[in-house]
Structure 1
Amino acid sequence: MPPAQCFLSVFENEIHETIVSSRLFQRGERVAIGASGGKDSTVLASVLKTLNERHDYGLDLVLLSIDEGIKGYRDDSLETVKRNATQYGMPLEIVGYDQLYGWTMDQVVAQVGKKGNCTYCGVFRRQALDRGASKLGIKHVVTGHNADDVAETVMMNLLRGDLPRLARATSIVTSSAASETKRSKPLKYAYEKEIVLYAHHKKLDYFSTECIYSPEAFRGSARTLIKDLEKIRPSSILDIVKSGEDMAALVPSELSSSVSCGAAGDEEGNGCGTRNTTGGSMAQMERDLAANEAAADRETEIELTPEARTDSRPKTSAPKIHDKKPKGRRKIVKQVMGQCERCGYLSSQKICKACSLLEGLNKSRPRNNIEVGIEDEEGSTTLMRQVADLVISAG
């Protein structure tokens, strides 16, 4: 067998093993593939089509694309997705930010600038995928996140000190009772290099231009760090992914209740493709740390009585066993996934992040359009006369 064909076969078998061992799909299930036109989603669509036919998964595959409204980038990549839909014989649904939120990313960047704009885009895209799936009546969305992406997310959450989010980021399947839509990452353990090689040898049609707004993203810094680590230690990427999985085991069960394996996990919760072998010891460590923290809270300050003093220092400066209460371990903020009170979509707060960001954008949006009805004609004429007087005065 030629080397290229051998590689393609090995890659497809590894993805099949991930799907089967994690029990990602159910026969007859409709699955939406988050398609951006890039290499990851294009490879995901191609390999799922191949495996679905080869192993008879019985899946109904649909391409779901999000149009963020970035001229010179997303409009070109969507043309690639449209060609993919024809090449793979899959239906395509495109959902735009403008129709969902009333804003395009070009408008958002014009409003907030290029720093922090990726926060808006990421929050909006995650919810847009759920909305698009709901529109299609689909309850399972697969994304093209690979091992490099997961490692970057782990690193970003570590740098932020966001342990609760770590559990969701490292799980191959995420779902919540507050949402009908679950997500999975079939390419979770595939290196980015492998995906590029697969696309090359299969001669896949994909869009390779980077988003014009992404150079300012925090993820880019994490990516650079991980690439430098990989040069020194080639296994760094999967090592970081595995470390993230193990650290996620530290999260108490109520914090990770939004992460569910469905049919993927076994009775001891070691499924979801996390390959967790240290869950018991980590849980014990968490209990020990909690006990130590509780003991620290019970410690009291002891002040010597006047009779016990042997020096002439005033009472206020008496020696103490603890000058300050010892600081305990940083408490983990509990997160309970529910539904946003405004839009009804998944959120860990009363108001989801998407609605909060939209509120800020809409408050600062100038109101330039003045619509005048028949009943307002007289008032508008008066306004026009006042404006004319201002112009004459200015002249």
Structure 2
Amino acid sequence: MAPALCAICKTGRALIKRPKNHTKLCKSCFINIFEDEVHHTITSSQLFYPGEKVAIGASGGKDSTVLASVLKTLNERHGYGLELVLLSIDEGIKGYRDDSLETVKKNAVEYDMPLLVVGYDELYGWTMDQVVETIGKKGNCTYCGVFRRQALDRGAKMLGIRHVVTGHNADDVAETVLMNLLRGDLSRLSRSTSIVTGDNKSEVKRSKPLKYSYEKEIVLYAHHKKLEYFSTECIYSPEAFRGSARTLIKQLERVRPSAILDIVRSGEDMARLVPGESASSCGGCKSKTETPVAAPEDDAGGCGSSNGRNPGGEMAAMDKQLRENEEAEGLEVDITKLVLESKNRQKEKQRDSATKNGGGNPKPTTRQVLGKCQRCGYMSSQDTCQACTLLEGLNKNRPQIQI
């Protein structure tokens, strides 16, 4: 049987079956498509501006290593004009982080990028080994997550940088969407699905250039580009709730390859329904029609497949019914809405009456305002930030050293 040819160039031998849509590609075409899709995400979402100084959150793992390699390649190829710096966080986990930092140091030399390493011990006076020894493995990822987010921002401020990029991929975002849904935490849905958190007014903003890249394709890219990365999983993470969401997503992906991006897109759509919140998605893919990348069976747009999004033959009846419902909607009377409007008018009359009788003005609704922690000076919507609150509990349980 003759070997299959690449679906793009039609000449090279197909060596890779894309996890995203099962398109068969040669090595060269896969690498080019992967880089082009990341470039599409960056440009359509306007993540950078020329001359910007950007810190890459580097852990030594596959995601951050691929992110550093791709950004260096695209920065040179397309003339982004970025100044790239590696920023690593040392959580203080022996047998894990100390080994992965050696990989980061090698990458810094290979990519010719400056490197700053910031440790939990110097920022908080605790290492994660000490935290786990004090509180146990259950719930330790909550501490690490809060400390790490703040450490990235503090490290960026040390470097005089206001933009940090992280290696969060489509699998990570889909896991976070599921976790927020399973916990019923819709208020976090917008932030977790947004490709950029923070803006030009924030002290430090973060972005995810690999938001629409599958984890398996990141591994394939690193393999075929011969990138060196650290592949050992954190020794404390198996106890995390995220592991359950990851297992569920992997099972869904086996049945439907586009499940990961479907969850990401669904999370973006649901986030827009949260009052006062908005979710950002790829700027060039907000329309229902996405540009295919020359795939014969499935489409593979810059930010993912649109399979399962357009009505097919089996959905014709439902599609027709929905259109008829829309046409009849103008003839309907919503009794619940009328009752609600009546109650609102009654409440307004009661407030006006209370004001005239000296009852005072009703208390206005307030929204959270981003300020600074009174203890450490880190940006926070509360008087005390999450990190300081967690540290207060840890310090109370720290064993006293008797002299």
Q: Same fold (TM over 0.5)?
A: yes
Matched residue type, 2:170? A
Task: Give aligned pairs, total.
Answer: 315
Over 3 Å counting, the alpha-carbon distance change for 1:349 and 1:56 in structure 2 is same
Deviation of the 1:347 alpha carbon: 2.5
Deviation of the 1:272 alpha carbon: 5.6
Deviation of the 1:251 alpha carbon: 1.8
Q: For 1:117-196, list aligned pairs within 5 A.
A: 117-175=140-198, 179-196=202-219
Deviates more, 1:2-11 or 1:344-353: 344-353
Kept in 2: contact 1:178–1:339 (CA 8 A)? no
Kept in 1: contact 2:41–2:282 (CA 8 A)? no
Kept in 1: contact 2:55–2:87 (CA 8 A)? yes
Over 3 Å counting, the alpha-carbon distance change for 1:115 and 1:10 in structure 2 is same
Matched residue type, 1:220? G
CA distance in 1, matches of 2:72, 2:339: 52
Query: Aligned residue for 1:340?
Result: 373
Query: Aligned residue for 2:233?
Result: 210
Deviation of the 1:249 alpha carbon: 0.4
CA distance in 2, matches of 1:291, 1:101: 53
- Residues 123-156 of structure 1: CA deviation (Å, up to 9, x unaligned): 1000000000000000000000000000000001
CA distance in 1, matches of 2:284, 2:137: 37
Over 3 Å counting, the alpha-carbon distance change for 1:335 and 1:170 in structure 2 is farther
Over 3 Å counting, the alpha-carbon distance change for 1:48 and 1:347 in structure 2 is same
Deviation of the 1:178 alpha carbon: 7.1
Kept in 2: contact 1:31–1:60 (CA 8 A)? yes
Identical residues among aligned pairs (%): 74
Larger radius of gyration: 1
- Residues 344-387 of structure 1: CA deviation (Å, up to 9, x unaligned): 223233321111100100011122054xxxxxxxxxxxxxxxxx
CA distance in 1, matches of 2:285, 2:390: 33
Over 3 Å counting, the alpha-carbon distance change for 1:129 and 1:273 in structure 2 is farther
CA distance in 2, matches of 1:248, 1:112: 34
Matched residue type, 1:241? V
Query: Aligned residue for 2:263?
Result: 240
CA distance in 2, matches of 1:155, 1:293: 36
CA distance in 1, matches of 2:247, 2:287: 27
Kept in 1: contact 2:41–2:209 (CA 8 A)? yes
Kept in 1: contact 2:60–2:229 (CA 8 A)? yes
2:81 to 44, 58, 69: 58
Query: Aligned residue for 1:275?
Result: 286
Deviation of the 1:177 alpha carbon: 7.4
Is the partner of 2:203 in helix, strand or coil? strand
Query: Aligned residue for 2:64?
Result: 41
Is the partner of 2:116 in helix, strand or coil? strand
CA distance in 1, matches of 2:343, 2:372: 35
CA distance in 2, matches of 1:356, 1:36: 26
Query: Aligned residue for 1:264?
Result: none
Over 3 Å counting, the alpha-carbon distance change for 1:367 and 1:29 in structure 2 is same
Kept in 2: contact 1:179–1:345 (CA 8 A)? no
Is 1:362 matched with 2:373?
Answer: no
CA distance in 2, matches of 1:13, 1:84: 22
Matched residue type, 2:385? C
Which blocks of at least 5 consecutive residues in structure 1 are unaligned?
262-269, 278-287, 301-332, 371-395
Kept in 2: contact 1:29–1:60 (CA 8 A)? yes
Kept in 2: contact 1:245–1:276 (CA 8 A)? no
- Residues 289-315 of structure 1: CA deviation (Å, up to 9, x unaligned): x969956977x9xxxxxxxxxxxxxxx
Structure 2 length as normaliser, TM-score? 0.73
Matched residue type, 1:351? T
Is the partner of 1:180 in helix, strand or coil? coil
Kept in 2: contact 1:178–1:346 (CA 8 A)? no
CA distance in 1, matches of 2:196, 2:283: 6
Matched residue type, 2:99? D
CA distance in 2, matches of 1:293, 1:117: 49
Deviation of the 1:169 alpha carbon: 0.6
Across the aligned residues of Structure 1 and Structure 2, the Cα RMSD in angstroms comes to 2.5
Query: Aligned residue for 2:129?
Result: 106
Matched residue type, 2:69? S
Deviates more, 1:351-360 or 1:201-210: 351-360
Query: Aligned residue for 2:252?
Result: 229
CA distance in 2, matches of 1:230, 1:214: 22
- Residues 189-218 of structure 1: CA deviation (Å, up to 9, x unaligned): 000011000000000000000000000001
CA distance in 2, matches of 1:17, 1:128: 30
Deviation of the 1:336 alpha carbon: 4.4
Over 3 Å counting, the alpha-carbon distance change for 1:97 and 1:154 in structure 2 is same
